[in-house]
Amino acid sequence: MSQEVRVRFAPSPTGPLHIGGVRTALYNYLLAKKLGGKMLLRIEDTDQNRFVPGAEQYIIESLQWLGITIDEGVGVGGPHEPYRQSERSAIYQEHAQILLDAGKAYYAFDTSEELDAMRATFESQGSAFQYNAVTRTRLKNSLTLSEEEVKAKIEAGEPYVIRLKVPAKEEIRFKDLIRDWVHVHSSTIDDKVLMKSDGLPTYHLANVVDDHLMNITHVIRGEEWLPSAPLHVMLYRAFGWENTMPQFAHLPLLLKPEGNGKLSKRDAEIGGFPVFPLEWTNPEGVKSIGFREEGYLKEALINFLAFLGWNPGTEQEIFSLEELTQAFSLERINKSGAKFDINKAKWYNEQYLRQQSDEALASQYLTDFETDKAVKIVHLFKERVTFPQQIVSEANALFVAPTSYDQAVIASKWNDDAKKAITAFKEALPALDNFVADEIKHTLSAELEKLGIKMGKVMQALRVAVTGAGAGPDLMLLMEIIGKDAVIQRLDTALTTL
RNA sequence: GGUCCGUUCGUCUAGGGGUUAGGACACGUCCCUUUCACGGAUGAAACACGGGUUCGAUUCCCGUACGGACUACCA
């Protein structure tokens, strides 16, 4: 039976989507598109305490910006609605009941304080507390209490959780598409809480139930889930769903650029680079920068992210989203974590920036300038900047006369010959009707020839006189854009002040 | 501490029983250029360690070291 591939991206709305999450979404999307399947977006908002208003919208906008389209789920709907877990509590309760009835789960009445105390005691004896096959016989739960006692407690409104009754001795193994077989013994897994005392499920239950009900075929998620994957396998087993269980692929983590550990918001602050796709202002009003606002092009971000943990096996580095969907495969994802290097992201951005036409960039970013001037400016600067907004600031700077001059150049190049040449050039300029690069150059060389001075001798001095800087794009083009009157004025200023 | 996962240039990685261990970013040098940048060329730079297996191991196996994740009524 050939089955439609269905993957899901299932973030929690606890804040802005982290760049690692974006990559997870991307890989899911890539696999779905490659295999002609569907990409779902499910919001895992079962923790009311960590819910952040606006986070869901942020996630949707981020994916939209990047072109990671959702076929089914929050925001678009679909046959398995609702796709927000907070709206599915009845489903989880029902499924928890199935496990309870089958004797595969049980009620537990231990309070958090009691459990904390347990943990402290165990720790003081040098061991770790686990709610499991051996300890559950001594704790307050429906396995140790009589049926009447349990009933009474529940009816009295005493808070309780539902825990999975993990078998004492069972070998759990599953095949991870990236890591191959992973084996774990059930004795190392504790009786995880499935339903919290607030009546909402934990991640584990909700995730397994939803993935099953939504016919998910591939679970592609971060490596932080690898340790709980065996628990999920046990849950599939407990429900009798093992034969339709999705395949797992646990992605390597994105690591700090330097030092140890996974990439965090703090690293971004230290390094001065974004870790969120879009700018985000948290409920307290604190703003975090985003890739989009910093000037990263979505194509560059996608390409960069795709290559953090995956590669096509060829030497091609530049891939459009469409090319990525063609080339992508889970088999070529590697196992080890990748340090996040913003330099590579910048390089990708430069590549994509240069790929765009002068006209497109001009109409998108230089709307304050007349079109043909804007196009010329873009042409001059797009190969020398990393971000589009740098073209804008360069453009604006063009029309401001220099307020200071590069002293090193002045010291070595601002000599009598240069002054003589620049004076002659300046005086020849008013007669020049067609003030374009070629004509300007002709005028300059004509004047230099008369004086017997070589071009190379004066170019730098001239550049400094016009722009204040010792380096930059083609000076003739620059002067053309600045305009005749302004150039003459600047030369005057330089000649009289320097 | 326990469980699980990992380890090729500074970074992202290719490769895989016999290779001059390849590419990209960053870095150095040179060329181009009126300068800078782009571009081109080029250089430096890596198989964590110890045992096996083998004629031969960076590649396979086992240990060790190191790194990471998880260890909540968070996801």
Per-residue pLDDT tens over the stretch A35-60: 999 999 999 999 999 999 999 999 99
Residue A183's φ and ψ, nearest 5 degrees, are -115, 140
Nucleotide nearest to A180 (CA to C1'): B5
Nearest to A373 by CA among A486, A293, A460, A462: A486
pLDDT tens profile A439-454:
999 999 999 999 999 8
Q: Which two tokens stand for residue A183?
A: 């084996």
What's the CA gap between A233 and A493, in Å, rounded? 78
Question: Which positions on chain B have an atom < 7 Å from some protein CB?
Answer: 1-8, 10-15, 22-26, 34-38, 67-75
**CA distances from residue A428 to A133, A192, A431, A491 in whole angstroms, order as listed:** 96, 86, 6, 12
pLDDT tens profile A206-216:
999 999 999 99
CA/C1' separation A336–B6 (Å)? 5
CA/C1' separation A228–B5 (Å)? 12
| Predicted TM-score (pTM) above 0.80 | yes
CA closest to B14 C1', residue:
A313
CA closest to B39 C1', residue:
A383
Residue A88's φ and ψ, nearest 5 degrees, are -120, 15
CA/C1' separation A406–B30 (Å)? 27
CA/C1' separation A339–B45 (Å)? 18
Residues paired with A8 in a beta bridge: A40
Nucleotide nearest to A341 (CA to C1'): B11
Q: What is the pLDDT along chain A (498 residues), one digit of tens a residue?
A: 458 999 999 999 999 999 999 999 999 999 999 999 999 999 999 999 999 999 999 999 999 999 999 999 999 999 999 999 999 999 999 999 999 999 999 999 999 999 999 999 998 888 889 999 999 999 999 999 999 999 999 999 999 999 999 999 899 999 999 999 999 999 999 999 999 999 999 999 999 999 999 999 999 999 999 999 999 999 999 999 999 999 999 999 999 998 778 899 999 998 999 999 999 999 999 999 999 999 999 999 999 999 999 999 999 999 999 999 999 999 999 999 999 999 999 999 999 999 999 999 999 999 999 999 999 999 999 999 999 999 999 999 999 999 999 998 999 999 999 999 999 999 999 999 999 999 999 999 999 999 999 888 899 999 999 999 999 999 999 999 999 999 999 999 999 998
What's the CA gap between A258 and A280, in Å, rounded? 25
> ∠A90-A91-A94 over CA atoms, to 5°?
85
Nucleotide nearest to A456 (CA to C1'): B34
Nucleotide nearest to A463 (CA to C1'): B35
Catalytic pick from A265, A373, A419, A457? A265
**CA distances from residue A480 to A42, A399, A465 in whole angstroms, order as listed:** 56, 12, 15
